Structure 1
Amino acid sequence: MALALLALVVLARLWFSKSYAEAAGRFAIACQELTSAGHNVSHQRLKLGIKGPEAEELAIDIAVIGSLDSGKAIMSSSGVHGVEGYPGSAIQLSIMDKLAKSPTFDDHAVIFIHAVNPYGMAWWRRFNENNVDLNRNFLRTDEHYSGVPEGYEEVKDFINPKTAPKKREPSFNIRALMLILRHGFDNLKQAVAEGQYQYPTAIQYGGSKLEKGPTMLTEWLMTNLASTNKLFAIDHHTGLGPSGHDTLLLPLELKFDDREKFEKLQDLFPGHIELLDAKSGVGYEIKGD
């Protein structure tokens, strides 16, 4: 049993890269290996025009395997939260390796979007080159880049200290406890995590407009998925859910607006479903997704 677990750990680590440059290079090689195996592969780079710590060009890599003309696609995206892109990249590389050893197909497409936030991934940050949290930057047409969540002003100074925290700071725990007692944990979670659009140097800043990377990615999606009528998209993150356990986070409205689809997902992934609901579980509602 111990040897089997050790083998799994070693195998998993094979796919983890030590830098953005390495991950992007391995992604390009994976595309070449898929092509060599006979798959229909398209690989494009959406370049941001900025460099990483190794003077590498930062770009969003997109690979399409199969046929977009089929009208059906499954899409995997990684690195929206920068540093979280390393496990996301590992998952993508592992799947691409398995696809290279599998029969070719043209009745659907598999799309890999590697490093949506290459700057954050390269510099080991959650946010992008403008301190924007991209998970709060993709706003719907009925949403606006303005304002702060209810209750945010009460916690703003606490979560955005003017000086670096000390290794041991007992007052932090006391202040945190007081805020929880005063406002309630669920309310604080929602206020902090929802996304704010007023303080550019603070955390959870969603920006003042759609950022350059997301703009290029959105344009690519609009152009290339115009004939796609069935799409299943998974965006890989590491921030929520139990460690080492896959959690599928779903929008709260899905439970009520499409009960059949929600129950089907529960049947497919029992014990892995969580809703983006501040009052239940680990989730919360956010602007821009």
Structure 2
Amino acid sequence: MDSIHPLRPIAVIEPEALLHFQPDQATATARFLSLCGPQSALHTWPIPAAGPDQQPLASHSLWWGPADAEQVLVMLSGTHGVEGLAGSALQCDLLARLNSGAQTLAAGSAVLFVHLLNPWGAAWLRRCDQDGIDLNRNFIDFGRALPDNPGYEALRNALLSRSDSLRGQVLARYRQCHGDAAYQIAISGGQYTDPQGPFHGGRRASTARSMLDQLVERYQLSRRRLAVIDLHTGLGAYGYGEIICDHPGGSAGLATALAWYGDAVTRAEDGSSSSVPKTGLLDFYWQALMPPGSCFVTLEFGTFSTAQLFEVILADHRLHRAAPLTPALLTHPVKLALRAHFYPQTRQWQQLALFRTRQVTQLALDGLSGQTETP
């Protein structure tokens, strides 16, 4: 049975809220910074890589609320680069609503925005970072042997082949022999052997991971109750924001997620999610540091089919293996297809994403402040 939450009206999406959806990383960053205000607790985290116009790139963090807040909503965007274009807009909407008073916080609550965890991927329309690392596979113990993914090794040559017929035959045969879940895990579960391939978890901690370590220390996050929402796009039903929870079965984190978000919570572990089990997720990093009464969820906004998701990602990796990194690459049909998959430009999709984010954000804030009611 769903938890019963206090009724809080969510307004029809105002036309001006759609202005948060900006065309590229530079304008998305500019809009976010314009909403921060001169006195805000903003911090810039430069990365050692440049954008298409040779502009310096950086992530940004913003603390909104009292410095001694006991409970904190952490909202992250751009874990997967290009997906951050939508995630930035959703963060801007919350920040604008906080500034205007349309969104309020309970006493003792604050919000920490982490804007574009992977700014290079957002700038160059890639999911990986400047080192080819998929940040959402990077959170493993690099002091131990790297995880194996034999399914990826079996499919690697076909995945990166320029022959559509060969790729289609090999993938179809693997899927038929091993099943859909094993097929998805082989491709997207995470691999640590092929830096130029998709879903590569890296061979060392990423720049973003180091930044998060510093953020956690700066704000003493392991000592505060946390509701972490990581914004993603590209997987699941069109326009729907799926609340994916990877806290293990029987854990306090899962119990917290179910209490706050009710039966809308889905889990890769039990097969109820559009996602499948993966290695090295960002979730695991936060789970390890969270105090009781906290939880991490991925808010995943669906766009088009999983088959299309795999195709645009694989096409992007094939393109980058063959072509130099130049600004002209951003207008290549492969890039336009990838951008369209992860950042739909229709008003309907944008309105759906805004509405759902406001709804889930309020559920998280209610949960943190103890306003969630259970029967």
TM-score of the two chains, using structure 2 as the length reference? 0.65
Moved more, 126-135 or 54-63: 54-63
Question: Who is 1:159 aligned against?
Answer: 159
Q: Which residue does the alignment assign to 2:205?
A: 210
Deviation for aligned residue 1:87: 0.8
1:37-56 superposed matches below 5 A: 41-56=40-55
Q: Structure 1 CA distance, aligned partners of 2:270 and 2:169? A: 23
Aligned pair 1:174/2:190, yes or no? no
Give, in angstroms, the shift of residue 105 of structure 1.
7.0
Note the alpha carbon deviations across 1:250-276, whole angstroms, 9 max, x for none: 0151x4223642431343xx4x32212
The alignment status of 1:92 with 2:91, answered yes or no, reads yes
2-structure distance, mates of 1:198, 1:278: 28
**2:72 maps to which residue?**
73
Displacement, 1:171?
Answer: 4.7
Tell me how far apart the structure 2 counterparts of residues 96 and 282 of structure 1 sit (CA, whole Å).
Answer: 29
Task: Decide which of 15, 18, 24 is 1:19's aligned counterpart.
Answer: 24
8 Å contact kept, 2:75–2:230: yes
RMSD between superposed Cα atoms in Å = 2.5
Cα deviation digits, residues 151-205 of structure 1 (max 9, x gap): 22222222222x3x6xxx4554333321111111111112222211111111111
Q: What is the distance in 2 between the residues matched to 1:249 and 1:106?
A: 28
- The answer to whether the 8 Å contact 2:81/2:116 transfers is yes
- Counterpart CA distance in 2 for 1:108 and 1:89 is 22
8 Å CA contact 2:80–2:134 kept in 1: the answer is yes
d(CA) in 2 for partners of 1:49 and 1:199? 22
Q: Which residue number corresponds to residue 275 of structure 2?
A: 283
Unaligned 5+ segments in structure 2 are 1-11, 283-375
Distance in 2 (CA, whole Å) between partners of 1:32 and 1:157 is 50
Partner of 1:198: 193
Equivalent position of 1:238 in the other structure? 233
Q: CA deviation at 1:118?
A: 0.3
> Compared with structure 1, are the counterparts of its residues 111 and 62 closer, same or farther at alpha carbon in structure 2 (3 Å cutoff)?
same
The 3 A distance-change label for structure 1 pair 246 and 11 is farther
Segments of 5+ residues of structure 1 without an aligned counterpart are 1-6, 36-40
1:29-69 superposed Cα distances (whole Å, 9 cap, x missing partner): 10018x5xxxxx30000011322112322101000001231
Contact 1:75 1:232 in 2 (8 A): yes
Structure 1 range deviating more: 8-17 or 185-194: 8-17
How far did 1:280 drift?
A: 4.1
Per the alignment, residue 257 of structure 1 pairs with 251
Cα separation, 1, equivalents of 2:185 and 2:167: 20
- More helix by proportion, 1 or 2? 2
Structure 1 residue aligned with 2:326: none
1:174 counterpart letter in structure 2: Q
Superposition deviation, residue 113 in structure 1: 0.4
User: Match of 1:286, as an amino acid?
Assistant: K
- Between the aligned partners of 1:77 and 1:262, the Cα distance in structure 2 is 17
Amino acid corresponding to residue 160 of structure 1 in structure 2: L
- Determine the C-alpha separation between the residues in 2 that align with 1:124 and 1:118: 10
Q: Percent identity?
A: 26
Would the aligned equivalents of 1:74 and 1:109 in 2 still touch at CA under 8 Å? yes
* Number of aligned positions between the proteins: 267
- Describe the superposition over 1:6-44 as per-residue Cα deviations: whole angstroms up to 9, x where unpaired: x959555311111111111111110018x5xxxxx3000
1:237 Cα shift? Answer: 0.4
Residue number in structure 2 paired with 1:224: 219
Residues 239, 256 of structure 1: CA spacing in aligned structure 2 closer, same or farther, 3 A cutoff? farther
TM-score (norm 1): 0.83
